[in-house]
């Protein structure tokens, strides 16, 4: 990997913010938000590559929101949303929806009405199952969507 | 494996070479069921990670590969995190997925992957349609205040940053292309997207197909070289 540089979505957003290339307004979202650690960015990256992306997304959230809480458990002990590993495309939908029940219980318990997540599989799963578990109005946002929504621009 | 054979399994007669590369080849499992307790999907379709490990340890690899279990599991890794013997259960699951005949891979996973290998993206979307969609979305952004100058830089040689595209963003979720693009614009980023082999997913990860993953990753590297890009943004 010496031929060119690679950056993760977290690295790039943090770079833009720290270098002053983008400015963010922390007052745009007032309701309580929460964050879900995707298995592959967190626990599995920690195991495979020796670094789980736990702190980076939380730092970015702090730049965008004044009012967010963690789920319990979270970070390396989080519970999978049920949409990973290709589950959204395997056709075993009944199993996938049932799988998501514990994650949805966590979100209920947090009181959050916005879920921020940096993974396409998790994002798809939350939107697919939220109504079934009594949170039809849960706003599911990509981490970079939250950043774009908070941009001070022009 | 026939049911008749399965009754005759004994520890002495295990076929060990097949599992030699698997860390549980010597039957490390203590049957403690910590994995079962940690697994968010244990109990669904009678799935239980411990059962998978026991099947493998007893040499019943085919039975495990033929079952639905490797596809009910999301390889989330709670089981291996808690396993006191360090058995890498998600890795076992992925290898079991690889043992399935490709026409028996469930859902649309294999179709999407075959499309990707054949055309460069999971949808089999022709290049001109892809470019049309990107430019259409860019024109929508340019209607917003502060983004009047916005255009999408396709195949820009020497750009600082290359991005890939998740296929759903040029299919059913085109509005979700806009978030990163707006950030790039505000940050003054010199970015680009390739018109060929732009796919940001790699479904060989899900189907257990290492060779397909190599091909998909290699194409991104080719784009980096062809366009002389400095930095690659890992697919989301």
In tens digits, chain A (154 residues) has pLDDT values of 579 999 999 999 999 999 999 999 999 999 999 999 999 999 999 998 899 999 999 999 999 999 999 999 999 999 999 999 999 999 999 999 999 999 999 999 999 999 999 999 999 999 999 999 999 999 999 999 999 999 999 8
Residue B29 has a pLDDT of 86
**Start-to-end C-alpha separation, chain A:** 36
Does position B13 have pLDDT exceeding 80, yes or no? no
Average pLDDT, chain B: 91
CA–CA–CA angle B207, B162, A65 (5° rounding): 85
B53-56: long-range pairs with CB below 8 Å, 24+: B53/B24, B53/B29, B53/B87, B53/B89, B53/B92, B54/B29, B56/B19, B56/B22, B56/B24, B56/B92
The Cα–Cα gap between B179 and A13 comes to 12
In a domain, A1, yes or no: no
Residue A81's CATH number: 3.40.50
Residue B17 has a pLDDT of 47
Assess contact for B12 and B76: CB atoms under 8 A: no
Does position B20 have pLDDT exceeding 80, yes or no? no
pLDDT by residue (tens digit) across B45-72?
Answer: 999 999 999 998 888 889 999 999 999 9
> Which of A:81-100 have CB within 8 Å of B?
82-87, 89-92, 95, 98-99
Residue B2 has a pLDDT of 46
CA–CA–CA angle B74, B76, B81 (5° rounding): 145
Which residue is listed with tokens 């002990």?
Answer: A77
Q: Which residue of B has its CA nearest to A75?
A: B78
pLDDT by residue (tens digit) across A58-78?
Answer: 999 999 999 999 999 999 999
The whole-angstrom distance between A69's CA and the closest CA on chain B is 22
Q: ipTM surpassing 0.85, yes or no?
A: yes
Residue B236 has a pLDDT of 83
Does position B119 have pLDDT exceeding 90, yes or no? yes
Residue B9 has which token pair?
A: 């399994």
In a domain, A3, yes or no: no
Q: Which residue of B has its CA nearest to A118?
A: B236
In a domain, A121, yes or no: yes
Task: Label residue B197 left, alpha or beta by phi (over 0 means left) and psi (-120 to 50 means alpha).
Answer: left
Q: C-alpha B96: how far from its chain's center?
A: 15
Which domain range does residue A32 map to? 9-150
In a domain, A2, yes or no: no
Residue B124 has a pLDDT of 98
Domain count, chain A: 1
Residue A151's CB: how many other CB atoms inside 10 A? 20
pLDDT by residue (tens digit) across B72-92?
Answer: 999 999 999 999 988 889 999
Is the preceding omega at residue A92 within 30 degrees of 0, hence cis? no
Cβ within 8 Å, pair B182-A151 = yes
Does position B25 have pLDDT exceeding 90, yes or no? no
Cβ within 8 Å, pair A142-B179 = yes
Q: Which residue of A has its CA nearest to B107?
A: A90
Using a CB–CB cutoff of 8 Å, tell me whether A49 touches chain B.
no
Kindly list the residues from chain A whose CB atom is less than 8 angstroms away from the CB atom of residue B74.
39, 80, 82-85, 87, 99
Kindly list the residues from chain A whose CB atom is less than 8 angstroms away from the CB atom of residue B185.
153
Q: Which residue of B has its CA nearest to A21?
A: B187
Q: Which of A148, A131, A126 is nearest to A71 (CA)?
A: A126
pLDDT by residue (tens digit) across B125-157?
Answer: 999 999 999 999 999 999 999 999 999 999 999
Does position B188 have pLDDT exceeding 90, yes or no? yes
Q: Which of B40, B109, B232 sits opposite A80 (nearest CB)?
A: B40
The Cα–Cα gap between A31 and A113 comes to 7
Cβ within 8 Å, pair A43-B231 = no
Does position B228 have pLDDT exceeding 60, yes or no? yes
Which domains does chain B show, CATH number per domain? 3-100 (1.10.1060.10), 115-232 (no CATH)
Q: Which of B41, B77, B182 sits opposite A47 (nearest CB)?
A: B77
Q: What is the DSSP string of A86-140?
A: TGGGSS-HHHHHHHTHHHHHHHHHHT-SEEEES-HHHHHHHHHHTTTTT-TT-EE
Does position B216 have pLDDT exceeding 80, yes or no? yes
In a domain, A4, yes or no: no
Cα atoms found within 13 Å of the Cα of residue B150, Cβ hemisphere only:
26
The pLDDT confidence band at residue B14, using thresholds 50, 70 and 90, is low
Cβ neighbours of residue B179 under 8 Å, at least 6 residues apart? A142, A144, A145, A147, A148, A149
């Amino acid at each position: 990997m010496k031929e060119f540089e690679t950056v993760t979505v977290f690295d790039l957003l943090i770079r833009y913010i720290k270098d002053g290339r983008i400015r963010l307004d922390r007052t745009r979202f007032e309701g309580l938000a929460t964050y879900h650690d995707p298995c592959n960015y967190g626990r599995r990256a920690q195991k495979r590559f020796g670094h789980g992306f736990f702190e980076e997304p939380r730092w970015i959230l702090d730049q965008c929101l004044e009012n967010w809480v963690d789920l319990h458990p979270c970070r390396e002990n989080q519970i999978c949303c049920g949409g990973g590993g290709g589950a959204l495309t395997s056709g075993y939908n009944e199993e996938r929806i049932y799988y998501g029940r514990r994650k949805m219980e966590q979100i209920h318990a947090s009181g959050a009405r916005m879920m921020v997540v940096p993974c396409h599989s998790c994002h798809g799963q939350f939107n697919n199952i939220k109504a079934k578990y009594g949170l039809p109005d849960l706003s599911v946002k990509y981490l970079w969507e939250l950043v774009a929504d908070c941009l001070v621009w022009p | 494996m026939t049911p008749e054979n399965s009754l005759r399994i004994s520890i002495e007669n295990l076929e060990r070479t097949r599992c030699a590369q698997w860390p549980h080849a010597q039957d490390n499992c203590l049957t403690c069921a910590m994995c079962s307790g940690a697994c968010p999907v244990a109990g669904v379709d009678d799935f239980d990670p411990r059962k998978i490990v026991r099947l493998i340890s007893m040499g019943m690899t085919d039975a495990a590969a033929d079952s639905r279990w490797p596809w009910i599991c999301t390889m989330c890794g709670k089981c291996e995190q808690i396993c006191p013997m360090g058995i890498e259960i998600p890795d076992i699951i992925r290898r079991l997925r690889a043992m399935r005949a490709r026409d028996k891979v469930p859902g649309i996973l294999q179709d999407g992957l075959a499309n990707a290998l054949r055309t460069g993206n999971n949808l089999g979307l022709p290049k001109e349609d892809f470019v049309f969609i990107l430019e259409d979305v860019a024109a929508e952004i340019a209607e917003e205040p502060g983004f009047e100058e916005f255009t999408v830089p396709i195949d820009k040689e020497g750009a600082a940053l290359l991005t890939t595209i998740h296929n759903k963003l040029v299919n059913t979720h085109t509005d979700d292309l806009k978030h990163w693009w707006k950030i790039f614009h505000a940050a003054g980023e010199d970015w680009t997207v390739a018109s060929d082999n732009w796919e940001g997913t790699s479904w060989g990860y899900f189907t257990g197909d290492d060779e397909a993953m190599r091909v998909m990753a290699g194409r991104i590297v080719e784009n980096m070289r062809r366009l002389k890009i400095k930095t690659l943004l890992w697919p989301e």
